[in-house]
Structure 1
C-alpha cells in the first residue's frame, strides 16, 4: 500500500471516529435527528474507507498478475487494472456482441455458461 493510500485511510478513519463521537454526543443531548444525520455521514465515510481498501487490494492483485515488465508501473496503474480485467474475458465475437450472454459454437468457454436454446428452424 502506498504512503498516499495509508494517509488517506488514516484521514478517513479519523473522520469516521470524529463523526461517530459527534453523533453520540448529539444523541445524548436529545437531538435524535441530528444524531442520525451525523451517523449517516459517518457511514458514508466508512464506505469510502472500504472502497479505498478494496481498490488497493485490486491494485496489488493486478500488479502481481501483470507479468509484463514495465519500468515505471505503479500498483495503482489504471491500465494494469483494465488489462487484468480484460485478460479474464472471452475473446469470441458472439460473447462480445451479446454482452457476455452467449459464446460461439466453437468457443472453448461455451461450457462455462448456462445452456441456451440453439437458433435454427
Structure 2
C-alpha cells in the first residue's frame, strides 16, 4: 500500500469506529432499529479497507511482472512475464465477444450470458 492508500484505510477505520460507537450509544439510549442501522453501516468502511489492500496486491503483482519483463543483461527478456500480464488483463474480461462489443454481448458458451427474452 502506498501513502494515499494507507491514509484512506485509516479514514475508513476511523469512520467504521465512529459508526460502531454510535451503534453502541443507540443500543443503550435510542431505538433498536437505529442501533441495527449503525451497526450495519459500520461494516461498510471495512469493505473499503479490504478493497484497498486487494488493489495494492494487484499493483505489486503487476509491478513484479513488469520488472521481470524488462530485459536482464544476463538472461534476456522474460517472455512469460509479458504473457502473464496480458493473460491477467484478458481474464478480467468476460468473454471475447464481451470484450469486442464493449460489454454489450456475450459468447454462446459464456457462463455470464443472460438469455434475452423476446417478450417486451
| Pairwise TM-score range, normalised by the shorter structure | 0.5 to 0.7
Query: Can you give the 5+ residue segments of structure 2 that lack an aligned partner in the other structure?
Result: 71-83, 98-105, 111-120
CA deviation vs aligned residue, 1:76-114 (integer Å, no higher than 9, x gap): xxxxxxx82x33459xxxx83585x59xxxxxxxxxxxx
- The offset of 1:53, in angstroms, is 1.1
TM-score of the aligned structures, taking structure 1 as reference length: 0.57
TM-score of the aligned structures, taking structure 2 as reference length: 0.58
1:37 maps to which residue? 37
Distance (Å, rounded) in 2 between the aligned partners of 1:41 and 1:6: 21
2:47 maps to which residue? 47
Distance (Å, rounded) in 2 between the aligned partners of 1:6 and 1:55: 12
Distance (Å, rounded) in 2 between the aligned partners of 1:16 and 1:7: 14
RMSD across aligned positions (CA): 2.7
Distance (Å, rounded) in 2 between the aligned partners of 1:32 and 1:57: 39
Query: Can you give the 5+ residue segments of structure 1 that lack an aligned partner in the other structure?
Result: 70-82, 103-121
